[in-house]
A and B are shown apart, each in its own frame.
Chain A
Amino acid sequence: MSETRILQKKSLGELFAKLTAAGQRLLAPVKEGELLNFAEVKSPEQVALDYIQTRSSAKLATFPPYEPLLRYKFNGKDVEQQPAEPDKRPTVLFGAHPCDAASFATLKAVFTWDSPDAQFETRLANLTIIGLACTKADAYCFCTSVGGSPGDTRGSDMLLTPLDAERFLVEVLTPKGQAVVAAAPQLFTPAGNETKDKVLAKVAPRFSADKLKEKLPAAFGNNAVWVEQSLRCLGCGACAFVCPTCSCFDIQDERNREGGTRLRCWDSCGFSLFTLHASGHNPRHVQSERWRQRVMHKFSYQPERLGVLGCVGCGRCSRTCPVDMNLAEHAQALAEMKA
Chain B
Amino acid sequence: MEALQKKAKALLENGTVKVVIGFAAGTDAQTARPLFARTPEQAGKLIWGESCKQNLATYLLKPEVKALGKAAVVGRVTTARTVMQYAAENQIADDAAVLLIVSDDGQITELAKFADLEVYLAKVPRGLSPEAQKEIERLQAMPLEQRWAFWSAEMSRCIKCYACRAACPMCYCARCITEVNQPQWIPVATDPLGNLEWNIVRAMHLAGRCVDCGSCSDACPQGIRLDLLNRVLAQEVLTSFGGEAGYSTRKEYALSTFKPDDKEEFIR
Name A's B-contacting residues (CB within 8 A).
Answer: 32-35, 37, 55-56, 65-66, 138-140, 227, 230-232, 234-238, 240-242, 250, 252-254, 263, 265-266, 268, 271-273, 286-288, 318, 320, 322-326, 329
B residues within 8 A CB of A238?
159, 161, 163, 219, 221
Q: How far is the CA of A230 from the CA of B64 in the complex (A)?
A: 9
Among B63, B188, B215, point to the contact of A252 (Cβ < 8 A).
B188
Q: Considering only CB atoms, which chain B residue lies closest to A273 in the complex?
A: B179
Q: Is B26 an interface residue (CB 8 A)?
A: yes
Q: How many residues of B contact A (CB 8 A)?
A: 38
Is the pair A140, B166 in contact by a Cβ cutoff of 8 Å? no
A residues within 8 A CB of B222?
35, 55
Q: Which of B203-230 contact A (CB under 8 A)?
A: 215, 218-219, 221-223
A residues within 8 A CB of B31?
324
Among A33, A37, A231, A271, point to the contact of B65 (Cβ < 8 A).
A231
B residues within 8 A CB of A56?
159, 221
> With A33-B223, A34-B223, A273-B181 known to touch, is A138 a contact of B218 (CB < 8 Å)?
no
A residues within 8 A CB of B36?
231-232
Is the pair B218, A265 in contact by a Cβ cutoff of 8 Å? no
A residues within 8 A CB of B190?
65-66, 265-266
Q: Is B27 an interface residue (CB 8 A)?
A: yes
Is the pair B223, A236 in contact by a Cβ cutoff of 8 Å? no
B250 CB to closest chain A CB, in angstroms? 29
B residues within 8 A CB of A37?
157
> With A231-B64, A231-B65, A234-B167 known to touch, is A324 a contact of B27 (CB < 8 Å)?
yes
Q: Which of B1-47 contact A (CB under 8 A)?
A: 26-28, 31-34, 36
Total residue contacts A-B, CB cutoff 8 A: 112
Q: Considering only CB atoms, which chain A residue lies closest to B35 in the complex?
A: A232
Q: How far is the CA of A242 from the CA of B184 in the complex (A)?
A: 24
B residues within 8 A CB of A329?
27
Is the pair A66, B189 in contact by a Cβ cutoff of 8 Å? yes
Q: Is B79 an interface residue (CB 8 A)?
A: no
Is the pair B223, A286 in contact by a Cβ cutoff of 8 Å? no
> With A236-B161, A238-B221 known to touch, is A139 a contact of B64 (CB < 8 Å)?
no
Q: Considering only CB atoms, which chain B residue lies closest to A68 in the complex?
A: B189
A140-B27, A252-B187 given. 10 additional CB < 8 A pairs? A66-B191, A230-B64, A236-B166, A238-B159, A241-B221, A253-B184, A265-B188, A266-B160, A322-B218, A322-B219
Among B27, B165, B187, B189, point to the contact of A318 (Cβ < 8 A).
B27
A271 CB to closest chain B CB, in angstroms? 7
Is the pair B162, A236 in contact by a Cβ cutoff of 8 Å? yes
Q: Considering only CB atoms, which chain B residue lies closest to A228 in the complex?
A: B36
> With A322-B163, A324-B27 known to touch, is A236 a contact of B219 (CB < 8 Å)?
yes
> With A232-B36, A324-B27 known to touch, is A263 a contact of B188 (CB < 8 Å)?
yes
